[in-house]
Each structure stands twice: as structure tokens, then as C-alpha cells.
Amino acid sequence: MMKSAPLISFVILALMGLMLDQFLNPYLQRTMALVLVNIILAMSLNLVNGYTGQFSLGHAGFMAIGAYTSAYLSTHWVAPAAIVPHLLFFIFYSLVSGCFAAIAGWLVGQPSLRLKGDYLAIVTLGFGEIIRVIILNSSALGGARGYFGIPGPSPISFGGLALNAFYSFYLVAILWVLTCFFVIYRTISSTHGRAFMSIREDEIAADSLGIHTTRVKVKSFVLSSFFAGVAGSLFSHCMNFIAPSTFSMLMSINVVIMVVLGGMGSMTGPILAAVIISVLPEALRPLQELTGQDYRMVIYSLILIVLMLVRPQGLLGHKEIWNFWRKTRVE
């Protein structure tokens, strides 16, 4: 992999964003923003559930920690915009949010990653609920009413071109999407990533080779919760309002669906699934107007069931999207 690939892809995506900023209506832009947040969530959970083979159901909890950290920071510690560029502050907020979530990930991971399979799933599920209930009962974070008035990045202008606030958010978001992608992609093709996968394949064998399996699992878990926290931070700045009910078990399950649907242990599979799952409910909206009744969730669930029956290994399985391209080119 080229060393400059992250920079090149950032430039390309940033230029594409200029078009999105000018030609998409605000509704589609908001959907697009959520797609980016979901991509980070799916990629990071895939690290634990797909590559390391540990079933975590607490992703919404880490996301909540990130979201509330960022919300609190951005409302209580406002940037002196004159000195430091506004955008840098949002990057800083998400970085701090990620770190908080990573610390939580470490604390949860230390004891619980000694557990296996179903037990781990239940512990992480419990953790997610604990976080939600704590937030629900703390007045400083708005309690059940939610947290209002979270600022988003303000619009920037680019030469003569006046851009929307969406573009500022978009820049921060793709910065993190690419960071998440390249960190995970590079890690899995190094000894650290191989250690993650060895645990998925056979933990006893990994142990017998001198791999400190608990520490490796915690490492994967911490990295995953860091990016979940970042995604939470982006989510709060995109929605401008967050409430504990957003980060319920359903949110965690939704991310698990993205990973399973996309293919556990594929880099691009969960990204594809994240796009599909975020866009599908919106794309089915016209149907609601047509029939007068909300059949969206029925159809959405049906599509999921059919997909899992047809491709139980997920859309891409263990493969990457470019593996399919190459194959068709050869044939």
C-alpha cells in the first residue's frame, strides 16, 4: 500500500465534497453525514466482532461517551475562533471524545475480555445500558430531556466560493473515516492484526505461540472504542441534539447488523453495509407516501432476512470489494 494513499484519498473525497455541498439538498446532506458516522461505527465494531472474533454488543455505550464528551466540551469550552481555526477545534473535540471512549473501553475490556462468546456479549450489552442509565440520571448532561444546542462546525469560505456548514462537517468526518480506515487496514496486515485474527481462528493455538491473548483482545477493544467515541462526537455535532434514548441497545444491534451484513472480517463489506443500512430507510420513504402507511421497517427487515438467507457470510464475506473487481476484469 502506498504511503501517500491516505492523503490522496482525502484530497479526492474533499473535492467530491465540494460538489455534494453545492448540489445536494440539506436533507440528503444530513443523510450523507449519518452515513459517514455509521461507516466509522461499522468499521470499528468490525475490528472486534469481525477480526478479533469477540462478540461485543456495547458499541452504543462507547458512542454515547464520545457524543456527550464532545457535546459538553463544545458548549462549555468554546473556541477562541480568532486564534485557532474553527475546524481544528472540532477535530480536537472528537479526538478527546475518542480518548474518553478508549479509556472506557480499556476499563470494560480488562475484566470482560477474559469471558468468551455469549458471556462477553451480555457483559458488553450491560455496559451499554449502564452508560445510558447514568446519562439518563445526570442533570449536568440534560438527563432524559437530552442535550440541546450542540454547535456544529461553522461554514468556511474557500477563495470566492461560499460553502455550507455541511462542508465543514464533511471535512472533519472524512478525515476520521479515512483515519479509521487506514489505521485498521494497516494494522490488520501487520503482526498486531494477525494476532487479532489468530484469536478469532483459534485462541488456544494463539496462546501456545506466546501471544498474550487477553492483552491483544483489550488492544483491539480499545482501538475499536476509540473510533466509536469519535463517531459519537461527529454524531452529536451533526444532529446538534442528543438524548440517552438514541444510544439504546437498538443502536448497538444496528451496528452489529452492519458488520454481519457486510461480512465479518472484510474491510469494505461493513462500509458497504453501513451505506445500505443508513440509506435504505430513507430510500423507502416515498413508499410511505404512496401507500399512506409506514411499511418501511417491514420491508427493511424482509430485505435483511433475504440477504442473510442468500449470503449468510455477509455481502462480501472475507473478501474486499476490489477482489470482486479484479475477478470480473480477468473473466
Partner 1 sequence: MSNNKLLEIKEISIQFGGLKAVDRFSMDLESGELAGLIGPNGAGKTTVFNLLTGVYSPQTGSIDLEGQPIHRKKTFEISRLGIARTFQNIRLFKDLSVLDNILLGQHHRTQYGIWQVVLQTPGFQREEAQKKEEALELLKIFNLEKKQSAPAGALPYGEQRKLEILRALATKPKLLLLDEPAAGMNHSETTGLMEIISMIRERFNLTILLIEHDMKFVMKICEKIHVLDHGVKIAEGIPSYIQNHAEVIKAYLGTDEELH
Residue 209, H or E segment? none
Alpha-carbon span 33 to 169, nearest angstrom: 8
DSSP labels, 239-276: HS-B-GGGGSHHHHHHHHHHHHHH-TT-SHHHHHHHHH
How far is the C-alpha of 248 from the C-alpha of 59, rounded, in Å?
Answer: 10
Compute and round to an integer the Cα radius of gyration of the chain: 20
Is residue 330 involved in binding partner 1 (CB under 8 A)? Answer: no
**Residues 186-215 interacting with partner 1 (rule: CB under 8 A):** 186-187, 190-192, 194-195, 197-198, 201-202, 204-213
Residues that bind partner 1 (rule: CB under 8 A) add up to a total of: 29
Considering the complex, state which of residue 182 and residue 300 has its C-beta at the smaller distance from partner 1. 182
Nearer to partner 1, 318 or 326 (CB): 318
Is residue 282 within 8 Å of 235, Cβ to Cβ? no
> What mask of x and - would describe binding to partner 1 in positions 267 to 306, judged by CB under 8 A?
----------------------------------------
Stated as kind and residue range, the H or E segment containing 49 is none
Closer by beta carbon to partner 1, 106 or else 241: 106
Nearer to partner 1, 111 or 281 (CB): 111
**306-325 residues near partner 1, rule: CB under 8 A:** 318
Rounded CA separation 45/229 (Å): 12
By the criterion CB under 8 A, which residues form the site for partner 1?
A: 1, 3, 182-183, 186-187, 190-192, 194-195, 197-198, 201-202, 204-213, 219, 223, 265, 318
